[in-house]
Amino acid sequence: MTTSSNQRPKRTQRDYTLAFKLGVVERVEKGEFTYKQAQAHFGIQGRSTVLVWLRKHGFSIHLCQVQKKHQPKK
């Protein structure tokens, strides 16, 4: 299958600012949206994009990680 340089598909991936990501994460964590609702509301293309942001930037995720690190060993 050969395609010429004039017929390349347009790039559909979007780059989001950190401020936008943190805003979406905050609203999901507050319960204003589920991650799927936030995805639809803000027009976020990837199916797992918001989940990745929650894992990376979410406060409750980080809080759990910190608590696990500081638990006394049995």
2-53 pLDDT, tens digit per residue, is 555 567 665 567 899 999 999 999 999 999 999 999 999 999 988 899 999 9
- The ranges assigned to domains in the chain are 16-69
pLDDT at 10: 57
Structure token pair of residue 11:
């790039």
Cβ 38 vs Cβ 20: under 8 Å: no
Output the pTM of the full model. 0.65
